[in-house]
Structure 1
Amino acid sequence: MPYPQNMETAKEVETIVRENGAVPATIAILDGIPCIGLSMEELERLATLGTRAQKTARREYCTCCKGNGATTVSATMFFASMVGIPVFVTGGIGGVHRHGEHTLDISSDLTELGRTPIAVISAGVKSILDIPKTLEYLETQGVCVAAYKTNEFPAFFTETSGCKVTCRVDTPEDCARLIDANSKLKLGTGILIAVPIPKEHSASGSIIESAIQKALKEARDKNITGNAETPFLLARVNELTGGASLASNIALVKNNALVGAKIAISLAQLREHKGGTESVS
């Protein structure tokens, strides 16, 4: 997100989490140090850095050892797991890129979900990606994919993707029991809980897809690949939709924060009732 929308959204998301009884812990790398829970001053610094902050996945942390990094889902999961935070909210995870069967461009978010026991609450995967192939890859990784109050996997900017899920959860308590069972079985894998964007903020699927196709062609023409591709595509789709995709993005992040906070509270209550000690944030 561009500044100042990124800062405004970050503050609003943290407020939503607090108002629903949970503790927000925004994660980033500042001056080479992983920070779990940022002050308002640190959030402002990260927001104003924008794209000057290095996009940091698990592998990039070593190259960001003296700089500032905006952590991807994979890096955020890794740092959260180190301090015992079991619930993580984001907008959308990375996945298998379109034509990934030829390029092998697959986000490290997926392999992280396959080896780090964190529950990730998102609006699915970014719609610029190949959703069916992403779900197949997650199955290969042994990751439980659940949809919240629906039988269909959401498509980020829109509520439906045409892809069914094998696990449906209808309440924060359902989610908490799923997370707790995954932990007790020591499966060692994460859980993806996909929350559809609220209907009133859902974008037109045909408009979004048209913008995505145009952005993908421009990326190919400009030879934009690797970790530069997703930021370019999201920014270009926002331009082509006249800002509609950014407005939807902000709305779904807030909704995910609301659902995620309720899940975190339910998980804490469940574990407190059972005598557990793991922190929830």
Structure 2
Amino acid sequence: MTSALVVAPEVQDALRAGRPVLALESTIFTHGLPRPRNLQVALDAEALARAQGVVPATIGVIDGRPTVGLSPDEIERLSMTDGVVKASLRDLPIAAVKGLSAGTTVAATAHLAHRAGVRVFSTGGVGGVHRGASQTFDESADLGTLATLPLVVVSAGVKSVLDIPLTLERLETLGLAVVGYKTTDYPGFYVADSGLDIEYSADSPAEIAAIARTRDALGIAATLLIANPVPAERELDPAVHDAVLEQALAAADAQGVSGHDTTPFLLDFLQRATAGRSLDVNVDVYRGNVELGARIAAALAGAL
């Protein structure tokens, strides 16, 4: 661990002792949720991990210091302070030199977790290939980064505003294995089933841990992606989802929204058009992924 990376003493102690640790990202509460709900969701996620005997390691940047294991005060600061930037992997050295505070994306969080020695990371949804990417080449940095890191990442797939079929193709090309948790239906974040299938499922955290250990023994340095769907009773109604998404895409086209502004525009449209229901599903998705990630971390540490 270099001086450029701060690892909280509790996280260091757990890693040295071989106790389970779960990485958590910060952009969900710096840029993904409104105040003050964002802070409560962040603190609840840590409590969920602790309830299963797992040390939470929320990751972010404080005054230029990439930190693995933010304190409650630091989480509150990132949650409630204006001017916090969004940092992907390429932004980390710039944020460090400029002394910026930042929420870390999946790519940045995964990199910092790996540098600290944390093996399991729970998030809401990973980035993917954007609609129209055949012309724009718009693809999340998450994919290339995860292809180089031997982590286990739990998500509910990619957000449905992205191009899910092309994302699955890219995951295969990059050598990223996708395993469904108790399903071969690939989730669509807000909905339990995107309509696309994946080849493999795992029935328990212990089985997922065994797959990760075997991957490591074979010298494969790529993330194992666990697709964990939101329970069907808590998903956004698929018919409502499809209708609203079609409206959102049409609105984005009519207003000339493009590039990195597209996804925030579409997600905001979904939230307003569903009267906040999509936001509730987002939180349910995250909680489910944190719970499963904690169980996988415990299994990898031999505590389950």
Q: TM-score if structure 2 supplies the norm length?
A: 0.85
The percentage of aligned residue pairs carrying the same residue is 39
Among 80, 88, 92, the residue aligned to 1:61: 92
Q: CA deviation at 1:57?
A: 0.9
Deviations 1:234-263 (A, max 9, x none): 222111111000000001100111111000
Deviation track 1:110-159 (CA, whole Å, cap 9, x = no partner) reads: 11121111111001111111111100000000001000000111110111
Aligned counterpart, 1:22: 54
Q: How does 1:16-95 map to 2 (within 5 A)?
A: 16-49=48-81, 52-65=83-96, 66-95=99-128
Residue of structure 1 aligned with 2:241, choices 208, 230, 237: 208
Residue in 2 aligned with 1:133? 166
Q: Name the amino acid aligned to 1:67.
A: L
Shift of 1:95: 0.3
Aligned to 2:212, which of 179, 183, 190?
179
SS of the aligned residue for 1:27 comes to strand
Q: Which is further off, 113-122 or 132-141?
A: 113-122
The equivalent of 2:142 in structure 1 is: 109
Residue identity in the other structure for 2:216: S
Give deviations 1:82-102, integer Å, cap 9, x for gaps: 011010000001101112112
Cα 1:223–1:55 change in 2 (3 A) is farther
Deviation at 1:216, TM superposition (A): 2.7
Q: CA 1:62–1:214 in 2, change beyond 3 Å: closer, same or farther?
A: farther
Distance change (3 Å), C-alpha of 1:250 and 1:38: same
**Matched-pair contact (CA < 8 Å) for 2:151–2:223:** yes
Pick from 191, 199, 209: which aligns with 1:158?
Answer: 191
Displacement of 1:183 in angstroms is 1.5
- Mapped to 2, the partners of 1:59 and 1:215 lie a distance apart of 30
Contact map agreement 2:66 2:92 (CA 8 A) in 1: no
Matched residues in 2 for 1:191 and 1:207: separation? 32
- 1:256-267 matches, cutoff 5 A: 256-267=289-300
- Is this contact kept in 1: 2:187–2:228, CA < 8 A? yes
- CA-CA distance at 1:229 after TM superposition: 2.8
Q: CA deviation at 1:267?
A: 0.6
Gaps of 5+ in 1: 273-281
The one-letter amino acid paired with 1:94 is G
Gaps of 5+ in 2: 1-32
1:196 and 2:232 correspond: no
Partners of 2:249 and 2:69 in 1: how far apart?
A: 35
The 3 A distance-change label for structure 1 pair 31 and 227 is farther
1:63 Cα shift?
2.9
Task: Give yes or no for the alignment of 1:227 onto 2:280.
Answer: no
1:121 lines up with 2:154 in the alignment:
yes
**Contact 2:205-2:296 within 8 A present in 1 as well:** yes
CA RMSD in angstroms comes to 1.6
Which position in structure 1 is the counterpart of 2:39? Answer: 7
Structure 1 window deviating more from structure 2 (63-72 vs 84-93): it is 63-72
Q: 1:49: how far off?
A: 3.0
**How many residue pairs are counted as aligned between the two chains?**
270
